[in-house]
Amino acid sequence: MSVWIATLLSVAAVSLVSLVGLFSLSLGERRIQRLSAALVSFAVGALLGDTFLHLVPDIFGSRVRPLAPSLLILSGVLLFFVLEKLLRHRHGPLHRQHHQDHDGLPELAVINVVGDAIHNFIDGALIGASYLAGPALGLSTTVAVLFHEIPQELGDFGVLVHSGVSVRKALWLNLASASAAILGSVATLLASTETGAVTDVLLPITAGGFVYIAAADLIPELQHDRSLRGLFVQAGFIALGITVMALLTLVE
């Protein structure tokens, strides 16, 4: 099997994981809305766990001078802050929609999709580079990314539903952002080189974006529920998200 066919089949399989939210269609939107707090909590744990257990170790590796990647991570936080401020601005493209629906959070949905698309682009680039190095490495990388994406996409689905997006639209948005993996793999195969230059910049920016989404957008949303039951449920699902990401390091 050629490198191109193997890579495209792998990234297609990874992209289809974004439809993991399909199982929820039988539950109905009202029930999904009630479950969204738990899914958002899981997303917080998955995003932070992904950042500090997967991305940050890859970013720094054996670097002697961590200044450049550290600044890029902080740049990612700043970039996503600016993006959200622009979306919230009175002349922003989502301003009218936001004020027509006070219960919706369209800017949160957009910023989550953007961050996920960047992350998926990098995943696709890594899969492509792995297959260039050898079929066994390509397959093992695909398996690692596949298991890594299941909790990530489930959390992203919960964030989209919580932000006011319908269940069906959330599925399509998840699939669209996941398809960025195909672009990343194709770009790598066309270059026929390792992805160091790409990942050295995009990986830390993605990490900063994930930290911003979890800390600035999702956690404040969870603070609206001040009950003890909400505390235990949310803390439990955050811990579950982190635990799943920690367990995934065993297959990387």
Question: Is 107 within a domain?
Answer: yes
Query: Is residue 183, in this structure, part of any structural domain at all?
Result: yes
For residue 26, being part of any structural domain is answered with: no
Distance of CA 203 to the CA centre of its chain: 12
pLDDT at residue number 27? 65
Per-residue CA distances from 72 to 66, 69, 79, 121 (Å): 10, 5, 10, 17
For residue range 151-198, what is the model confidence (pLDDT) as tens digits?
A: 777 778 878 877 788 878 888 888 888 889 999 899 888 886 555 555
* Distance (Å, whole) CA 43 – CA 136: 31
Per-residue pLDDT reduced to its tens digit, 211-223: 998 898 889 888 9
Residue 193, CB half-sphere, CA atoms under 13 Å: how many? 6
- 34 domain-assigned: no
Question: In which residue are the tokens 């539950």 written?
Answer: 27
Three-state secondary structure call for residue 164: coil
Give the residue among 244, 239, 211 at the shortest CA–CA distance from 52: 211
Q: Residue 97: which pLDDT band, with cuts at 50, 70 and 90?
A: very low
Return the higher-pLDDT residue of 200 and 12.
12
Task: Provide mean pLDDT across the span 210-237.
Answer: 89
| Domain with 97 in it | 3-21+41-251
What integer best gives the mean pLDDT of the chain? Answer: 80
**pLDDT for residue 94:** 47
Number of domains in the chain: 1
DSSP 92-131: STTHHHHHH-TT--HHHHHHHHHHHHHHHHHHHHHHHHHH
pLDDT tens, 136-145? Answer: 778 877 887 8
Under the phi-then-psi rule, with left for phi > 0, alpha for psi from -120 to 50, and beta for the rest, what region is 61? Answer: left
Q: How far apart are CA 147 and CA 139, in angstroms?
A: 13
Do the beta carbons of residue 140 and residue 118 sit within 8 Å? no
From 35, 54, 32, select the one nearest 45 (Cα to Cα): 54
What is residue 204's predicted lDDT score, i.e. its pLDDT?
87
Residue 98: the pLDDT is 46
Q: Is residue 124 part of a domain?
A: yes
Q: What pLDDT score does 8 carry?
A: 93
Token reading at 180: 């960025």
Sign for the CA dihedral angle at 43, 44, 47, 52 comes to: negative
Distances in whole angstroms, Cα of residue 123 to Cα of each of 31, 117, 126, 223: 32, 10, 5, 32
The predicted pLDDT at position 154 comes to: 76
Length of the chain in residues, anyone? 252
142 inside domain: yes
Percentage, residues of the chain above pLDDT 70? 81
pLDDT for residue 66:
84
pTM for this entry: 0.73
Is residue 35 situated within a structural domain? Answer: no
